[in-house]
Amino acid sequence: MATEPTVYECPSTQCALGTVGEPGYFTSGATLEQAVMLTGKPTDELNEGTDYGEGVCPNCGTLGTAVP
């Protein structure tokens, strides 16, 4: 049986993932390529777990928090 994916809440009030006054939610996280596009930084300046990867909002690049 497959497990449910972890759902994360984006804490950024500027993120367009949520609606006005409400946080956005996502599963998984931003890829390295998405982080490069969001930040403009080269790949060697980005860190997995804080700049990209599981739990990083794919829309704005902010580290989210897991929702129980």
**pLDDT at residue 62, as a whole number:** 94
- Write down the residue that tokens 């409400």 correspond to: 22
Beta bridge partners of 12: none
What is the residue extent of each domain of the chain? 7-66
- Distance, in Å, from the CA atom of 61 to the CA atom of 24, rounded to the nearest integer, reads 12
What pLDDT digit, counting tens, does each position of 1-48 carry? Answer: 678 899 999 999 889 998 888 899 999 999 999 999 999 999 999 999
What pLDDT digit, counting tens, does each position of 4-17 carry? Answer: 899 999 999 889 99
CA angle 18, 48, 52 (to 5 degrees): 25
**pLDDT at residue 13, as a whole number:** 87
**pLDDT at residue 37, as a whole number:** 95
